[in-house]
């Protein structure tokens, strides 16, 4: 499934099917073929004339396996799939056409959500029902399968080919689910297969991987190694952990935190400058979040939390972002602070951030020392190299303030530089417009720094792992 970032639509089809089979002997040789027959029946079901796609937030129903039939007369088998957008209502009451430009700025493509349904009535036949009595003991296995398929196409692709592609994707996903069920089955104990979508680099494309529920990423290393070889992915960073799963642009995060506010900013106007930015997803942590009043002392803690969230979202760690007290306890545990430090309102700096990252996440960091703020204007090459190779947020502490650097705009020819700053001193709510308009996340010049204060920069390094 390869798509162009310029004019792509992602069709996402979701539905639930129930897998059921009866095993005479769960540990016998016939069990594998019995399970296969159950999945073959489901594949036949999604290929039948009874399957129906309903387009979310629209009146459209589509019968994909009956020579293409739609509930809208204007949508025929020759219609381009982009024509469907005009019938979809957005959350604000507008059509998907008006939503399209807004989505493109964020993601390069529009998502069309569909649900999988089946017609449940058939013309009655003349056959009488029959009853069969089975005396042997059998194990009945039932399991819900949450199907989640994606198909990426250009807007001029025909609706017929889209529907054909979705049905084929459904069949393939069921086959992949069967493979996972068979691999991890123990007798009549089954692990539910779960689909995850991942956006892979160069060329940008979405691919779907089925993982067994309940098996942690740490036990799926061999599976990921095979997939990295199959997709020719680098072997030194994670792409296919659950935390790396693609977040669809029309799906809201449920925890209330803002993520990646910098993507809504325009780049600074510097001649010959290139942008070197944080790679991946992070959470904006700042003063007064989580019902913790840390105004005036917690800026470095918040910067550290932002960095920890980056490692969590990129799949390097599965642990939660640490609280202030957990950060303090980690410093006590390594002997850096006295026990009375826990629960205090004492500041920490870049060196403590380095220690905590290593203690809690196993992440090493480099420290860049600057004797006075005026020297930061000369550190473009070092910072550009960091964001190009590591791509992690940088914590900078100097005087009594700490900030997070998310990137630089730097001209190698002129030496001009701007810093992309995420400011943890913000005390308001999660209001994206206020945060970007008021500069709490924004581009700053070298004059932003205290020219006479010394600074330590903590540059976290990526672990070499998948």
Strand stretches in 262-400, DSSP E: 274-277, 365-370, 394-398
* 56 tagged catalytic: no
* 140 tagged catalytic: no
Please state the φ and ψ torsions of residue 318, each to the nearest 5 degrees. -110, -5
Full DSSP string of 163-196: HHHHHHHHHHHHHHHHHHHHHH-BTTB-PPEEEE
CA pair distance 264, 106, nearest whole angstrom = 8
CA pair distance 364, 361, nearest whole angstrom = 9
CA pair distance 15, 362, nearest whole angstrom = 40
**What phi-psi label fits residue 91: left (phi over 0), alpha (psi between -120 and 50 degrees) or beta?**
alpha
Q: Going by C-beta distance under 8 Å and a sequence separation of 6 or more, which residues neighbour residue 120?
A: 50
Closest CA to 210 of 153, 249, 169, 238: 169
CA pair distance 189, 448, nearest whole angstrom = 61
Closest CA to 316 of 390, 237, 221: 237
Closest CA to 162 of 298, 70, 28, 278: 70
Please identify which of the residues 217, 250, 294, 423 carries the catalytic annotation.
423
| Torsion over CA: 67, 147, 198, 420 (sign) | positive
DSSP β-ladder status, 109-118 and 69-70:
unpaired
* 247 tagged catalytic: no
CA pair distance 213, 211, nearest whole angstrom = 6
Tokens standing for residue 212: 């067994």
Please identify which of the residues 163, 299, 308, 441 carries the catalytic annotation.
299
424 CB neighbour count, 10 Å cutoff: 27
Please identify which of the residues 139, 146, 247, 425 carries the catalytic annotation.
425
Full DSSP string of 36-56: HHHHHHHHHHHTSTTEEEEET
C-alpha separations of 206 from 35, 74, 239, 240 in Å: 29, 30, 12, 11
Do the Cβ atoms of 352 and 329 come closer than 8 Å? no
Locus of tokens 């009866």: 22
Tokens standing for residue 203: 């060329």
CA pair distance 380, 446, nearest whole angstrom = 11
Closest CA to 421 of 447, 448, 398: 448
> Would you please indicate which residues are annotated as catalytic (active-site) residues?
299, 423, 425
């Amino acid at each position: 499934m390869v798509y162009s970032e310029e004019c792509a639509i992602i069709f996402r089809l979701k539905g639930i099917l129930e897998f059921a089979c009866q095993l005479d002997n769960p540990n016998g040789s016939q069990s594998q073929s019995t399970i296969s027959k159950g999945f073959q029946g489901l594949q036949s079901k999604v290929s039948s004339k009874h399957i129906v796609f309903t387009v979310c937030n629209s009146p459209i129903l589509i019968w994909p396996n009956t020579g293409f039939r739609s509930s809208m007369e204007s949508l025929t088998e020759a219609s381009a799939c982009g024509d469907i957008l005009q019938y979809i209502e957005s959350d604000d009451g507008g059509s998907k056409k008006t939503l399209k430009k807004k989505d493109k700025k964020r993601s390069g493509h529009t998502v069309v959500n569909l649900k999988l349904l089946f017609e449940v009535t058939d013309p009655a036949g003349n056959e009488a029902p029959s009853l069969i009595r089975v005396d042997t003991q059998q194990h009945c296995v039932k399991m819900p399968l949450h199907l989640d398929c994606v198909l990426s196409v250009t807007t001029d692709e025909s609706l017929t080919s889209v529907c054909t592609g979705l049905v084929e994707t459904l069949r393939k996903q069921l086959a992949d689910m069967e493979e996972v069920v068979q691999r991890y089955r123990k007798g009549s104990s089954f692990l539910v297969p779960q689909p995850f979508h991942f956006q892979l680099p160069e060329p940008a494309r979405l691919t779907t991987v089925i993982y067994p529920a309940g098996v942690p990423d740490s036990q799926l290393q061999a599976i990921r190694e095979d997939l990295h070889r199959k997709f020719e992915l680098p072997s030194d960073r994670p792409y296919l952990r659950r935390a790396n799963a693609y977040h669809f642009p029309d799906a809201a995060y449920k925890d209330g935190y803002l993520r990646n506010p910098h993507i809504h900013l325009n780049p600074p106007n510097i001649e010959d400058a290139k942008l070197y930015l944080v790679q991946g997803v992070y959470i904006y942590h700042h003063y007064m979040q989580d019902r913790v009043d840390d105004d005036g002392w917690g800026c470095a803690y918040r910067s550290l939390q932002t960095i920890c969230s980056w490692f969590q979202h990129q799949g390097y760690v599965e642990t939660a972002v640490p609280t202030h007290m957990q950060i303090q306890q980690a410093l006590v545990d390594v002997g850096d602070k006295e026990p009375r430090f826990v629960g205090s309102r004492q500041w920490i700096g870049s060196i403590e951030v380095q220690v905590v990252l290593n203690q809690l996440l196993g992440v090493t960091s480099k420290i860049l020392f600057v004797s006075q703020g005026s020297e930061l204007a000369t550190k473009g090459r070092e910072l550009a190299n960091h964001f190009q190779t590591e791509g992690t947020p940088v914590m900078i502490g100097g005087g009594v303030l700490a900030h997070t650097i998310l990137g630089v705009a730097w001209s190698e020819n002129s030496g001009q530089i701007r810093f992309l700053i995420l400011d943890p001193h913000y005390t308001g709510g999660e209001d994206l417009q206020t945060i970007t308009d008021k500069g709490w996340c924004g581009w700053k010049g070298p004059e932003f720094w205290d020219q006479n204060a010394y600074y330590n920069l903590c540059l976290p390094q990526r672990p070499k792992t998948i």
